[in-house]
């Protein structure tokens, strides 16, 4: 083969390389035609407008949030490649979405109807929200009002609860996959409850919570989930699949702590009062019976034995009362100890003693974390935060 001779395969590979390098990633607006949802899971179709058309493919590894139909206008993002067996170029799509808000709403309604038919929203599949959740997982963005509202509400209403926070992307590319990973991660920890949500926004901002893979992860989660997405008027697919829907992130934290720490203390005190009253009622009943026997001539000779019984009953009541008071005091002490322990272990507690904590990229730098490769860190004290640039890191 001479220098100016190439095989068809080699020529096709060169053309494919030139297309990929010369065009790169491109976003195309067009109308779907000849759509085929192959049994393999891959989708084949054409994109066309008034002047031209291009073949397109979307592999089964790329998720779809709606059911494409012929004649639907869409926005496709991908790269141009060559299908060698036919020698034709095509658009390999990474994302495909309907054009405009109206089409997004249609996609939302289509997925909602399909999941409803599959039973994803049925009450029979929903878990019961526990009355007292002491291990609560939180899935939301590490920045913004949602995480602050949830943490503040839980600390105020149920400070003895242990919160497992999983920082998560909640919008944009990769958000849906990150939410799915967060749900699976927290579900493996044996928690009592998970709150999954974010603040309000447009339909595009909330779209990650309308993805089928997120709905599937919520449906398969063994831990009860409260969906707290957006504002009161916002509804997402996640709201319908979750075990309970909250109107806002704050409302989600309130539903997760429906029995507060004060409620728990009041319940213990009330139980002790009821048991003490019950013991006194039983004692009075026995006294009445004894007094009746004393009035009978046939039982007068038993006076001394009855008096002894009186004394044994009084001693038993005193002993039981002391025991109940001791158990009450022990339980209240345990609650107080847990509260003080949680306050002691709070990550910001050292700041009250003049210490500082370090953060990078929104995460705390622990004692075992290396600062190698970091260019900038935050130094956080009680009343101030400094931004420091790292020029050199040395091992101690």
Long-range pairs of 56-60 with CB within 8 A, sequence gap ≥ 24: 56/90, 56/91, 56/92, 56/93, 57/90, 57/91, 57/92, 57/93, 58/92, 58/93, 58/96, 59/92
- Residue 385: which residues within 8 A CB-CB, separation 6 or more? 378, 379
Q: What CA–CA distance (Å, rounded) separates 145 from 170?
A: 13
142, pLDDT greater than 90? yes
Percent of all residues in the chain with a pLDDT value above 70, rounded to a whole number: 94
Query: Of the candidates 231, 185, 226, which has an alpha carbon nearest to the alpha carbon of residue 205?
Result: 231
Give tens-digit pLDDT for 57-88: 999 988 887 788 887 888 999 988 888 788 78
Give tens-digit pLDDT for 145-196: 899 999 999 999 989 899 999 999 999 889 999 999 999 999 999 999 999 9
Strand ranges, E, within 122-254:
135-140, 162-167, 193-198, 225-229, 244-245
Band (pLDDT 50/70/90 cuts) for residue 3 is low
What is the CATH code of the structural domain delimited by 123-256?
Answer: 3.40.50.2300
CATH superfamily label, 8-99: Nucleic acid-binding proteins (2.40.50.140)
Give tens-digit pLDDT for 251-271: 999 999 988 777 777 767 777
300, pLDDT greater than 70? no
How far from 225 is each of 138, 141, 238, CA to CA, in Å?
A: 10, 17, 10
**pTM given for the model:** 0.48
Tokens of 242: 């979750």
Phi, psi of 392 (to 5 degrees): -160, 140
Greater confidence, 28 or 308? 28
What's the confidence (pLDDT) of residue 299?
56
Q: What CA–CA distance (Å, rounded) separates 182 from 216?
A: 13
CA neighbours within 13 Å on the CB side: how many for 177? 7
Band (pLDDT 50/70/90 cuts) for residue 1 is very low
- Residue 382 β-bridge partners: none
């Amino acid at each position: 083969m001479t220098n100016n001779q190439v095989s068809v395969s080699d020529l096709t590979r060169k053309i494919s390389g030139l297309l990929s390098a010369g065009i790169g990633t491109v976003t195309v607006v067009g109308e779907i035609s000849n759509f085929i949802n192959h049994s393999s899971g891959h989708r084949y179709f054409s994109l066309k407008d008034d002047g031209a058309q291009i073949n397109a493919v979307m592999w089964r590894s790329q998720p779809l949030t709606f059911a494409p139909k012929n004649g639907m206008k869409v926005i496709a993002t991908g790269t141009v490649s060559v299908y060698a067996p036919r020698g034709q170029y095509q658009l390999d799509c990474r994302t495909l979405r309907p054009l405009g808000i109206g089409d997004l709403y249609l996609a939302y309604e289509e997925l909602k109807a399909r999941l409803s038919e599959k039973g994803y929203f049925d009450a029979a599949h929903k878990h019961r929200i526990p009355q007292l959740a002491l291990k609560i997982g939180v899935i939301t963005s590490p920045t913004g009002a949602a995480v602050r509202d949830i943490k503040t509400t839980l600390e105020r209403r149920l400070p003895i609860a242990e919160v497992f926070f999983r920082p998560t992307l909640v919008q944009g590319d990769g958000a849906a996959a990150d939410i799915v990973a967060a749900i699976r991660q927290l579900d493996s920890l044996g928690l009592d409850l998970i709150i999954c949500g974010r603040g309000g926004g447009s339909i595009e901002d909330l779209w990650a919570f309308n993805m089928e893979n997120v709905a599937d992860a919520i449906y398969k989660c063994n831990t009860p989930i409260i969906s707290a997405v957006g504002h009161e008027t916002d509804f997402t697919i996640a709201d319908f699949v979750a075990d309970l829907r909250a109107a806002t992130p704050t409302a989600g934290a309130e539903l997760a702590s429906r029995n507060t720490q004060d409620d728990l203390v009041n319940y213990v005190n009330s139980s002790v009062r009821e048991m003490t009253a019950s013991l006194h009622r039983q004692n009075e009943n026995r006294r009445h019976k004894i007094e009746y026997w004393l009035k009978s001539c046939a039982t007068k000779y038993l006076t001394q034995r009855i008096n002894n019984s009186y004394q044994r009953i009084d001693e038993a009541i005193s002993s039981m009362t002391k025991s109940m008071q001791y158990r009450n005091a022990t339980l209240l002490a345990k609650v107080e100890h847990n509260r003080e322990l949680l306050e002691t272990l709070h990550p910001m507690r050292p700041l009250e003693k003049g210490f500082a904590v370090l953060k990078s990229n929104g995460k705390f730098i622990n004692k075992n974390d290396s600062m190698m490769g970091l260019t900038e860190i935050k130094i956080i004290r009680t009343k101030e935060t400094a931004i420091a640039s790292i020029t050199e890191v040395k091992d101690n």
